[in-house]
Amino acid sequence: MTAPNGQRVLITAGAGGIGRAIAMAFAAAGARVHACDIDAAALDDLRAQTPGVTTSVCDMADRRAVQGMVEEAVAALGGLDVLVNNAGIAGPTASVADMDPDAWDAVLRVNLTGTFTVTQAAIAHLKGSAAGSIIVMSSLAGRFGYPNRSPYATTKWGLIGFTKTLSRELGEFGIRVNAILPGAVNGPRIQRVFEGRASASGRSVAQEEAAALANQSIKRFVDPADIAALAVFLASDAARSISGQMIPIDGDSQSAS
């Protein structure tokens, strides 16, 4: 299973982590890829490592910048078939009682409103595709409560409602909309999380890792390449009857913690 050659794909936050893996997987499958990111240096590196990928620097919290970025992407790609809504920020770790309201607003502005803005700007272009597809990156935190991470969990649950609504609205135009819900993803970010937990708990990083894996049936963290492969599948003809679905990829995790 591969994406069709020439499939035109826009990926938000596509220069690092999961987004970079998705960009590289679509490019390897023969798609034409445009990635946006707030990190200009990371975009430079992506272009160097993946010839043919085009890029835009974009702050997802800036509505006008997002709207302009979509037009840049469509111009570079010659249209749009697939939108991968990957951009999001983790936000603070604090109880609701102690949450900084400005920090709450910042997470919603990127994770929810940014996703709304780029999707709204892309819909007219996706309607011109013979096989439009939108992929929304939610999270394990979009299935469970997540103590001390209320802004993040709230946005990831909100993206589920957004996905289901879009699927109902856009199905008549042949546009499919699905959400991917990753669990703990292997890489520098999860290691920083474990280091922070270890510092707070007095346990070792290895003990924090073991505690996290105890929550999963499959005792390993998710490889970004596996998430990328799922995204390529969902955008392919093999998934032409799949829409409005929430697809966990989390080693069968039993909670978000």
Q: Out of 7-11, 18-22, 137-141, 184-188, pick the least confident.
A: 184-188
Known active-site residue 146: no
According to DSSP, residue 192 is labeled H
Q: Name the pTM for this structure.
A: 0.94
pLDDT in tens, 14-33: 999 999 999 999 999 999 99
Residue spans per domain, the chain: 8-183+224-248, 185-221
**Confidence at residue 28, expressed as pLDDT on a 0 to 100 scale:** 96
CATH 3.90.1150.110 assigned to 8-183+224-248: no
**Confidence at residue 1, expressed as pLDDT on a 0 to 100 scale:** 44
The more confident residue out of 188 and 177 is 177
pLDDT over threshold 70, residue 165? yes
**Confidence at residue 73, expressed as pLDDT on a 0 to 100 scale:** 98
What is the rounded distance in angstroms from the CA atom of residue 180 to the CA atom of residue 55?
A: 23
Cα-based angle 24, 27, 33 (whole degrees, multiple of 5): 100
Q: What count of residues does the chain have? A: 257
What is the rounded distance in angstroms from the CA atom of residue 22 to the CA atom of residue 87?
A: 12
Q: Do 177 and 234 form a contact (C-beta atoms < 8 A)?
A: no
Average pLDDT over residues 139-150: 92
How many other C-beta atoms are found inside a 10 Å radius of the C-beta of residue 233? 16
pLDDT-based confidence at residue 202 (cuts at 50, 70, 90) = confident
**Confidence at residue 33, expressed as pLDDT on a 0 to 100 scale:** 98
Q: β-pairing, 54-57 with 82-85?
A: unpaired
pLDDT over threshold 80, residue 4? no
pLDDT in tens, 82-110: 999 999 999 988 899 999 999 999 999 99
pLDDT-based confidence at residue 2 (cuts at 50, 70, 90) = very low
Mean pLDDT of the chain: 93
Cα-based angle 97, 158, 221 (whole degrees, multiple of 5): 85
pLDDT-based confidence at residue 5 (cuts at 50, 70, 90) = low
Residues of the chain by 3-state class (helix, strand, coil), percent to 5: 50, 15, 35
The more confident residue out of 27 and 199 is 27
What is the rounded distance in angstroms from the CA atom of residue 134 to the CA atom of residue 115?
A: 11
pLDDT-based confidence at residue 57 (cuts at 50, 70, 90) = very high
Phi, psi angles (nearest 5°) of residue 17? 55, -135
- Catalytic one of 26, 104, 146, 152: 152
**Confidence at residue 105, expressed as pLDDT on a 0 to 100 scale:** 98
